Amino acid sequence: MMLSCKEATQLVSQGLDRRLGLCERVALRLHLLICDGCTHFRKQATFLRKAMRRLAG
Amino acid sequence: MTSFRSRVEAERPYLLRYASLQLRDAHAAEDVVQEALLAALAGEAGFAGRSNLRTWLTGILKHKIVDAIRRLSREAAVPPDEEGLQLLFDERGHWIDPPREWDDPDALLEEKQFMAALEECLGRLPAKTAQVFMMREHLGYDTPEICKELGLTSTHCWVLLYRARVALRECLQQNWFSR
């Protein structure tokens, strides 16, 4: 089953908060292979995490 | 020689800004800062030997903030809304305007202006979304802990974290990367 970008970005986000299941990881990887938008989204979500840790305090 | 009290007091504006960013409520922020400062003054001995007063005070403040979030969350439950997402994805769930590459973002972490833009974007998130995101990404709590503290289901937590990431990304795209 092909993921939509909306579903793929939801999995990218959840992947930062829980361990994804095998099927989810495979489906996500397939989607990212062909989708630049979601690949950028993933990099940027990871970057946001880094930036938030740096926030004052 | 400056007294401990006045050194602590001098950090108040910083702490207020820090608390306001997370609680999104000026009164609640003032309350937690007041509580933290009182706790700090009462616990001066706990500071002895530590190098950085601000870091120590922020540590105390973080506990007060989490307590306050707990209290506030008992008062307000947030219904999920889909509106924002409908502007980003079409009816088949594809990007309307796919994210483009950000140029060397890691270098931005050293830029005060960029960090200010990030705070500005955080300030635009709905309160509950911002709280969950702050607990997760800034304070470093696990998702199950956050859900438990705030009385949310895991699914609801993930939805809020997802919305926060999408919204912050959009906001930075518009206010920083597309300038």
Q: How many domains does the structure of chain A reveal?
A: 1
B127 and B57 in one domain? Answer: no
What CATH number corresponds to the domain at position B135? 1.10.10.10
Minimum-distance CB partner of B109 among A13, A18, A51: A51
The domain boundary, picked from B75, B97, B124, lies at B75
C-alpha–C-alpha distance, residues B118 and B178, integer Å: 14
B104 and B62 in one domain? Answer: no
Interface test with B, best of A1, A4, A17, A53 (most B CBs within 10 A): A17
Domain that holds residue B61: 4-75
Per-residue model confidence (pLDDT) at position B164: 94
Please give the span between the terminal C-alpha atoms of chain B, in angstroms, as a whole number: 47
User: Between A and B, how many residue pairs show a Cβ–Cβ distance under 8 A?
Assistant: 97
Per-residue model confidence (pLDDT) at position B126: 87
Query: Considering chain B, what is the average pLDDT of its residues?
Result: 86
- Which residues of A fall within a CB distance of 8 Å from B143? 17-18
A15 exposure class (CB count in 10 Å sphere: 0-12, 13-18, 19+):
middle
Yes or no: say if B132 and B150 are a contact pair by the CB < 8 Å rule: yes
B109 exposure class (CB count in 10 Å sphere: 0-12, 13-18, 19+):
middle
B33 and B108 in one domain? Answer: no
The domain boundary, picked from B32, B51, B75, lies at B75
Domain that holds residue A33: 5-54
State the 10-residue block means of pLDDT for chain B, 179 residues long. Answer: 82 92 84 90 80 88 86 54 73 92 90 92 89 93 91 91 94 88
Asked if B169's CB is within 8 angstroms of A45's CB, the reply is: yes
Residue A5 CB neighbours (<10 A)? 22
B158 and B111 in one domain? Answer: yes
Q: What is the pTM of this model?
A: 0.72
What CATH number corresponds to the domain at position B35? 1.10.1740
B138 and B107 in one domain? Answer: yes
Asked if A43's CB is within 8 angstroms of B106's CB, the reply is: no
- Which residues of B fall within a CB distance of 8 Å from A41? 99, 169
The domain boundary, picked from B41, B75, B109, lies at B75
**Predicted interface score ipTM higher than 0.85:** yes
